[in-house]
Amino acid sequence: MLEAPIHIPGSAVLVVDYGGQYAHLIARRLRELGVPAVVTPYTRVGGVDLSKYSAVVLSGSQRSVLEADPAVLDSARRVLGDAETPVLGVCFGHQLIARILGGVVEKGCGEYGRVMVRLVERDELFNGWGGEEYVWMSHGDCVSKPPPGSRVLAVSENGIVAALKIVLGGRVVYTVQFHPEVSHTVKGLKLLDNFARFAGVERKWVRDYYYSLTVVELEKYKGVEGPVVAAVSGGVDSTVAAALARRVLGDRVVPVLVDHGLFREGEVEEVVENLAKAGLKPLVLDEKERFLSRLEGVADCEERRRIIGEEFAKVFDQVMEEQGARVFIQGTTYPDIVESGGTGVADRIKSHHNVAGLPLWFREKYLVAEPLKHLYKDEVREVARMLGVPEYFVKRQPFPGPGLAVRVVGVFTRRKLEICRRASAVVEQVLRRHGLLDKVWQAFAVVGDDKWVGVKGDARRVGYVVIVRIVESSDAMTADYFKLPYSILDEVSREITRSIEDVTMVAYAVTTKPPSTIEPC
């Protein structure tokens, strides 16, 4: 499980997580600006020395401020009670600060999606903003009466307070109702840049710096004798984790690839060949029957993830014992932990098999090292390039640890798995043919239980519905569906229905993240 906050010497921003799925995205955006940023759950604020941080951001939340428990209120009071540290409240944090300082928060005034805000007072927080800008809102409550002595800096097109400035003694507190960290807020990054500049944060979060953090994470295990087992799948995360381990811990690192039968078409052979070229020739274990027999007939995706995590642990337990290893390396990243609710307060969206699926007994029996657990996907890719990891891995599209098991919706069957595998291969082939595959974040197919009546060979045929999902993203925290030209979409549809006999309908997913997730389950 993620420890929070990680230690970053000197100037940094502390993001207090109240359970919002965007808490880590705030840290991610600050890092884009070169600002070191770490996240801690509100439940741990009492044990944090706030004087070590240049600024504090209070995140959003799925909760209502009107129903906040005492621990939530106490954490914010502690932050606001600090004499010097600048504070920025975002969404829930905006309402929380307003309530604590004597303002009024009410229900029934929600705003969702893209909303126009108008600046009513100029302030350095909004340097570079026009008089009106689009932002991303996602709130059910609102500040109906600002705290005494506060100044309203912006209001939404619906008349809702969108930004406040509050002076507490000699310290300034800013709050915004919208989400500056989300790309849909057009000038959001500029606002965060202005806040960091106002707080005087040192801009030192660069590749060399966060690379050194991954090395420090692995150096803890230098004194542990024996082989070190590194789980690899061919994805950039596990490959980089293994490459880092090899650099820090030497040739005693043993890469292990478990073939669970849930990879894409031809993937295992291709990955093994490229890992060997990268100096990470893996031990390959054929465990297809073990996994597929356990998954057969299971409808609930979370149960599938649990099963996969459990079976992985059993396989690697056997490997660890055979190798005489005590240290286990895996490529867990920040987004894996975010979606698993791994900071301890966020609603779990989906458990990641590295995080929630790995049984406690395995973590208690072995030393589990996760050198990338504080990095986002693009930061992992930067470290990959620094290590000289082949571009084959750097440019690969993200692929979930549970593999195609999370792209089969409803009851899991081997036939649906094969349809998903073949249809996904078609999607990739068509996009590659048109030079588009490297321009999107992910492209794949999903199959569920739904059926559609069709006509094949002049006969009535009831077949499966395949949903094609192609998205653009930079970090998997938010995503837009890719506007695929109709002619290419038609090509995808025709090739899927032609090459898979029992598919009679192809649909295209056109929902962003949020409100959807990239993977179906």
- As a whole number of Å, the end-to-end CA separation of the chain is 22
Rg of the chain on CA atoms, in Å: 24
Cα dist. 189→185, 392, 475 in Å?
8, 31, 15
Length of the chain: 521
Structure tokens at 488: 């290419």
- Enumerate residues 6+ apart whose C-beta is below 8 A from 466: 419, 420, 423, 445, 446, 447, 496, 500, 503, 505, 506, 507
Q: Let me know: does 150 contact 162? Beta carbons within 8 Å.
A: no
* 45 backbone φψ class: left, alpha, beta (φ>0; ψ -120 to 50): alpha
The whole-angstrom distance between residue 302's C-alpha and the CA centroid of its chain comes to 17
CA distance 235 to 232: 7
Q: Let me know: does 513 contact 471? Beta carbons within 8 Å.
A: yes
Q: In the 8-state DSSP scheme, what is residue 398?
A: P
What are the residue numbers of the active site?
91, 179, 181
What is the three-class DSSP state of 293? helix
CA distance 202 to 206: 11
Q: Let me know: does 74 contact 46? Beta carbons within 8 Å.
A: yes
Binding residues for ATP: 233-239
Three-state secondary structure readout of 55-117:
EEEECCCCCCHHHCCHHHHHHHHHHHHCCCCCEEEECHHHHHHHHHCCCEEEEEEEEEEEEEE
CA distance 443 to 467: 11
Structure tokens at 403: 């593999």
CA distance 16 to 45: 8
The whole-angstrom distance between residue 407's C-alpha and the CA centroid of its chain comes to 18
- Enumerate residues 6+ apart whose C-beta is below 8 A from 393: 234, 235, 236, 239, 240, 274, 278, 384
Binding residues: 233-239
* Beta-strand relationship, 132-145 and 253-259: unpaired
The β-bridge partners of 119 are 154
Q: Which of 109, 126, 421 is nearest to 264 (CA)?
A: 421
Cα dist. 219→210, 244, 314 in Å?
14, 10, 27
